[in-house]
């Protein structure tokens, strides 16, 4: 896989650092100041751990035990905002001080039951205020998007947005004072971007694709636009949707996505992807794909040999101004179990691998 050199090319600085615990997927990431925060359920303990990494991929603060099952993480002006499930399975929001992230020094609020959750709760800081976003099954095979403002000592009053069909997958990112939700839905697995405002106000919907293939779409935030990565069934595609698209200002409106890039996977199949954006126009795409390998024994039929899938991992910088990708950098070890990361200043940290993921540090080529 090759690409012409561009201002978005990345160089590998180091690889091999590990997290101080064995995480169960998925790991939640969020950049904050001079560090990258990571939180995940610890596989052997079945509670969660929170840790931060510096720009060199080293542990910046000791791992903190969280007495709940974490499902999401964000960073805002007031510190860390996490979502999770308590011992009774109910949704909860937790606020922690980034300088002292001990749970007993933060706050916790429970979310009123809204029905069986079909998409786990994700925290997000929107317009300077903490929110939780989750989805439940609706009536007549529909789905409901819930959004609630959360904070220390405040009442949680969820706002509902109903859809006529079932949401299969969703990814989200905050773009300015709006939330961009990439929603896969319906029998044809169509992809839309739903714009939401603070308090759960629906600002509009932009159709992106009439059909997408496997792999949950990913969303990242640039200045005034959302970047959506998705699978068209064969290739990885990137779509840029500005907040001033025709649908965004008007509730219920529709419009069309703007620019599009395509990453050919050859005989491979996209397994996962992530859009990592940082300060200014810093952006990168991480993806994993599988391709047929050499024949090997199958567990289903003794004596039968079939091609064993080979998983490849890649990361590429995104030149926002020229709207093109830099040369892909191969990630070793690959693996779809763990993939993600974030920017710490001018460096990109990518966590990848299988059971015990490693941290790779990259920086733009000068």
Q: What pLDDT does residue 250 have?
A: 32
Please enumerate in sequence order all residues whose Cβ is within 8 A of that of 302, keeping only pairs 6 or more positions apart, or say none: none
| Burial 91-101, CB ≥16 within 10 A → b, else e | bbbbbbebeeb
Distance, CA of 68 to CA of 78 (rounded, Å): 21
Tens-place pLDDT, residues 228-237: 999 887 889 9
Element (H, E) at 105: none
Distance, CA of 93 to CA of 108 (rounded, Å): 6
Q: What pLDDT does residue 300 have?
A: 64
Compute φ and ψ for 105, nearest 5 degrees. -100, 0
Q: Which residue has the higher pLDDT, 229 or 1?
A: 229
Asked whether 92 and 124 are in contact (CB, 8 A), the reply is no
Instruction: State yes or no: pLDDT of 241 exceeds 60.
Output: yes
Distance, CA of 312 to CA of 324 (rounded, Å): 21
Tens-place pLDDT, residues 3-62: 444 568 999 999 989 998 889 888 999 998 899 999 999 876 678 999 999 999 999 988
Domain boundaries, the chain: 10-364
* DSSP type of residue 60: E
Q: What pLDDT does residue 221 have?
A: 93
Strand pairing category for 69-76 and 23-32: unpaired
Read out DSSP for 282-325?
-EEEEEEEEEEEEEEE-SSSTT-EEEEEEEEEEEEEEETTTTEE
Instruction: State yes or no: pLDDT of 2 exceeds 70.
Output: no
Domain boundaries 10-364, CATH class: mainly beta
Share of the chain above pLDDT 90, in %: 52
State CA 261 to chain mean position distance.
Answer: 19
Please enumerate in sequence order all residues whose Cβ is within 8 A of that of 118, keeping only pairs 6 or more positions apart, or say none: 135, 136, 137, 143, 166, 167
Supply 295's token pair.
Answer: 């024949």
Tens-place pLDDT, residues 135-144: 998 877 789 9
Residue (of 238, 233, 311) closest to 275 by Cα position: 238
């Amino acid at each position: 896989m090759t690409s012409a050199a561009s201002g978005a090319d990345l160089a590998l600085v180091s690889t091999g650092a590990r997290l101080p615990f064995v995480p169960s997927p998925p790991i939640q990431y969020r950049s904050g100041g001079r560090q990258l925060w990571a939180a995940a359920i610890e596989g052997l303990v079945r509670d969660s751990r929170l840790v931060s990494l510096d720009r060199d991929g080293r542990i910046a603060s000791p791992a903190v035990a969280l007495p709940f099952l974490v499902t999401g993480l964000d960073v805002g002006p007031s510190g860390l905002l996490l979502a999770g499930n308590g011992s009774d399975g109910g949704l909860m929001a937790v606020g922690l001080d980034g300088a002292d992230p001990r749970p007993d020094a933060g706050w916790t609020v429970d979310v009123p039951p809204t029905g069986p959750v079909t998409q786990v709760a994700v925290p997000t800081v929107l317009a300077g205020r903490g929110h939780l976003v989750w989805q439940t099954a609706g009536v007549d095979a529909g789905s409901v998007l819930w959004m609630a403002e959360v904070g220390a000592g405040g009442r949680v009053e969820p706002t509902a947005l109903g859809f006529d069909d079932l949401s299969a997958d969703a990814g989200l990112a905050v773009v300015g004072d709006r939330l961009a939700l990439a929603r896969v839905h319906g029998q044809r697995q169509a992809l839309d971007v739903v714009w939401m405002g603070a308090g759960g106000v629906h600002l509009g919907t932009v159709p992106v694709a009439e059909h997408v293939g496997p792999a949950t779409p990913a969303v990242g935030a640039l200045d005034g636009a959302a970047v959506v990565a998705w699978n068209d069934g064969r290739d990885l595609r990137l779509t840029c949707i500005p907040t001033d698209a025709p649908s965004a200002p008007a509730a219920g409106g529709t419009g069309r996505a703007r620019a599009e890039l395509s990453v050919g996977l050859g005989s491979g199949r996209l397994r996962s992807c992530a859009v990592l954006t940082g300060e200014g126009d810093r952006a990168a795409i991480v993806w994993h794909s599988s391709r047929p390998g050499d024949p090997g024994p199958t567990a289903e039929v003794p004596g039968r040999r079939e091609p064993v899938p080979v998983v490849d991992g890649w990361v590429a910088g995104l030149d926002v101004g020229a709207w093109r990708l830099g040369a892909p950098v191969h990630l070793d070890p690959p693996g779809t179990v763990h993939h993600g990361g974030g920017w710490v200043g001018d460096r990109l940290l990518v966590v990848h691998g299988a059971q015990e993921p490693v941290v790779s540090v990259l920086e733009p080529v000068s």
